[in-house]
């Protein structure tokens, strides 16, 4: 098993239960020296997608993550969900600081330019997931207060 660090919508236990049903959570932690950002607005159907990037200019930069012990089978399934075969995301390894000490984990980073707004729904899923996992209230509030685009339902079946 490998340790996976989720910082986006995969932090949500219901979503990960569908995508990686054999991979339990193993804790939470922080990517220190990294910041949460969004990009690939032309890739996502609702708007920009979450990603992380190193931030050497801000000594307080950090991103909350949920850790999962991922089976090989679930890792392949996650790769499909994340579009690794399509080049949307790539995997990297990074050190995650936990209450029990540092852990080396893999995570997905978006292979696209930074910028664009995520949907309000997407940010809501991320904020709810962070809250469920025990992220500090300030972190959850910052997710809920980010600028977002409101995406309404698409055209109905009778649209021309």
Catalytic residue set: 82
Distance, in Å, from the CA atom of 107 to the CA atom of 7, rounded to the nearest integer, reads: 8
Distance, in Å, from the CA atom of 146 to the CA atom of 8, rounded to the nearest integer, reads: 14
All residues at 6 or more sequence positions from 70 whose CB lies less than 8 Å from its CB, including other chains: 1, 2, 3, 4, 20, 23, 78
Which residues define the annotated binding site for substrate? 4-9, 122
Contact, 47 vs 117, CB < 8 A? yes
Distance, in Å, from the CA atom of 76 to the CA atom of 110, rounded to the nearest integer, reads: 17
Q: What 3-state DSSP class applies to 133?
A: helix
């Amino acid at each position: 098993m490998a340790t996976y660090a989720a910082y986006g919508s995969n932090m949500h236990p219901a979503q990960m239960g569908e995508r990686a049903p054999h991979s339990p959570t193993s804790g939470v932690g922080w990517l220190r020296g990294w910041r949460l950002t969004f990009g690939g607005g032309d890739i996502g159907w609702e708007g920009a997608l979450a990603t992380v990037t190193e931030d050497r200019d801000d000594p307080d930069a950090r991103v909350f993550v949920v850790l999962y012990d991922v089976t090989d089978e679930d890792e392949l399934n996650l790769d499909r969900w994340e579009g690794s075969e399509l080049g949307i995301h790539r995997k990297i390894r990074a050190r995650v600081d936990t209450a029990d000490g540092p852990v080396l984990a893999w995570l997905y980073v978006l292979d696209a330019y930074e910028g664009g707004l995520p949907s309000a729904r997407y940010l809501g899923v991320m904020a709810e997931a962070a809250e469920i996992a025990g992220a500090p209230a300030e972190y959850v509030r910052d997710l809920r207060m980010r600028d977002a685009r409101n995406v309404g339902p698409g055209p109905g079946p009778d649209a021309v």
